[in-house]
């Protein structure tokens, strides 16, 4: 028995360098699948923003704009993009503060400013009214567009958005507020422009609770090696749960000023969620995901059931569905997301 165990240990030790090299050179196979299906990554200068986005083929199909969650980027939609592109001309957009989209240093991270930039993107790049689906902060931006640029939005999907709960003072009673505090601290401190490493160093409990003890140290090593071998490429680490993989990739390109604006309450200035819900005329699908409360009453999720019911009640032309999954439903439960969104879009297209 001892000899067998010793043999296994020797094999692991010999294979370890190859395993580490594989992890460092890894690229998600979805990139190749998306290219084969006609998706192309593009950049376009619109006003003072250079937008980065992934676009499908099929210009004759109705346009669908996708807005990812905070901390992520367009690639978080990779599990649903091909199916969506069968019926729609898809634009998966990195909005300001995220991905490879580039903004001026003094760009104001607020719903009003980002929403206006996205409206210009739709006008200049898409060139016609669109269907729109946004997750989390992306859902808030989709609501802003539907309320403030109604002529550009045919219908909106709000995928587990933090309606009302991300407004002051309610935001202080959410788990997300703790993440935003990290962004605010990073802006004040010297992070050498490396928010990903800063976030990992300052979130040891997060990795202990959701992965395993020592995960933060291991990830820092793998990220350094990945950056050495794949310069100027987003960080992609295999063998992690889908949301963790996409968070590492997204945070590697994230501007902490975006989180700071939520933490300080400036992101929602001039954007009253209830008033926006009241004013939307187009069809809206509200998707809610799993949520809970910590022992101290802190909201662990986008909205409580009570808040979701209130938000839904304000919609003139709304429908609602619940997906039993975590916050980023299109990543955690892609089939359920598609089963909700595709019939909704088909119905409002008639």
Query: Domains in the chain, ordered, with CATH?
Result: 34-170+266-349 (3.40.50.1820)
Of these ranges, 199-203, 236-240, 301-305, the one predicted with the greatest mean pLDDT is 301-305
Q: Quickly state the pLDDT bin for 19 (edges 50, 70, 90).
A: low
DSSP 3-state helix, strand, coil percentages of the chain (rounded to 5)? 50, 15, 35
98 near 74, Cβ under 8 Å?
A: no
Q: Quickly state the pLDDT bin for 11 (edges 50, 70, 90).
A: very low
Q: Quickly state the pLDDT bin for 12 (edges 50, 70, 90).
A: very low
**C-alpha dihedral over 310, 311, 316, 318, to 10 degrees?**
-110
Distance of CA 69 to the CA centre of its chain: 2
Q: What is the pLDDT of residues 336-350, one digit of tens each?
A: 999 999 999 999 876
Report the residue count for the chain.
Answer: 350
111 near 139, Cβ under 8 Å?
A: no
Both tokens of 229, joined, read 């071998």
Instruction: Give the three-state DSSP class for 39.
Output: coil
Both tokens of 54, joined, read 């992934």
Q: What is the pLDDT of residues 151-163, one digit of tens each?
A: 999 999 999 999 9
Contacts by residues 246-250 (CB-CB < 8 Å, ≥ 24 positions apart): 246/72, 246/73, 246/75, 246/76, 246/328, 246/331, 247/71, 247/72, 248/196, 248/219, 248/223, 249/72, 249/73, 249/75, 250/68, 250/71, 250/72, 250/73, 250/76, 250/98, 250/99
Please tell me the distance from the alpha carbon of residue 223 to that of residue 170, in angstroms, as a whole number: 35
State mean pLDDT over 185-208: 83
Instruction: Say what the pLDDT of residue 348 is.
Output: 86
Please tell me the distance from the alpha carbon of residue 146 to that of residue 161, in angstroms, as a whole number: 14
């Amino acid at each position: 028995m001892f000899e067998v165990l010793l043999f296994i240990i020797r094999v692991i030790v010999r294979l370890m360098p190859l395993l580490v090299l594989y992890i460092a050179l890894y690229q998600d196979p979805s990139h190749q699948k998306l290219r084969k299906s006609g998706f192309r990554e593009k950049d376009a200068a619109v006003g003072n923003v250079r937008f980065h986005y992934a676009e499908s083929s099929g210009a004759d199909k109705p346009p669908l704009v996708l807005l990812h969650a905070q901390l992520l980027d367009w690639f978080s939609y990779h599990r649903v993009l091909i199916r969506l592109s069968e019926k729609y001309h898809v634009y998966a957009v990195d909005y300001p503060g995220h991905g490879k989209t580039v903004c001026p240093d003094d760009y104001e991270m607020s719903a009003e400013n980002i929403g206006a930039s996205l409206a210009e993107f739709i006008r200049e790049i898409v060139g016609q009214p669109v269907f729109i689906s946004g997750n989390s902060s992306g859902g808030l931006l989709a609501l802003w567009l539907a309320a403030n640029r109604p002529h550009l939005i045919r219908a909106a999907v709000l995928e587990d958005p933090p309606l009302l709960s991300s407004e002051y003072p309610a935001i202080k009673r959410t788990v997300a507020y703790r993440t935003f505090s990290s962004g605010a601290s990073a802006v004040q401190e010297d992070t050498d422009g490396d928010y990903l490493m800063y976030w990992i160093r300052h979130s040891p409990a997060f990795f202990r609770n959701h992965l395993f003890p020592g995960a933060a140290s291991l990830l820092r090593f793998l990220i350094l090696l990945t950056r050495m071998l794949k310069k100027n490429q987003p960080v992609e680490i295999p063998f992690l749960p889908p949301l963790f993989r996409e968070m590492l990739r997204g945070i590697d390109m994230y501007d902490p000023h975006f989180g700071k604006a939520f933490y300080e309450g400036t992101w929602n200035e001039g954007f009253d969620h209830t008033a926006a819900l009241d004013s939307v005329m187009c069809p809206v699908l509200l998707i809610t995901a799993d949520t809970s409360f910590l022992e101290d009453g802190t909201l662990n999720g986008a909205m409580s059931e009570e808040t979701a019911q209130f938000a839904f009640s304000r919609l003139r032309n709304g429908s609602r569905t619940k997906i039993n999954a975590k916050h980023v439903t299109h990543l955690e439960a892609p089939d359920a997301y598609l089963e909700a969104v595709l019939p909704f879009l088909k119905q409002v297209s008639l």
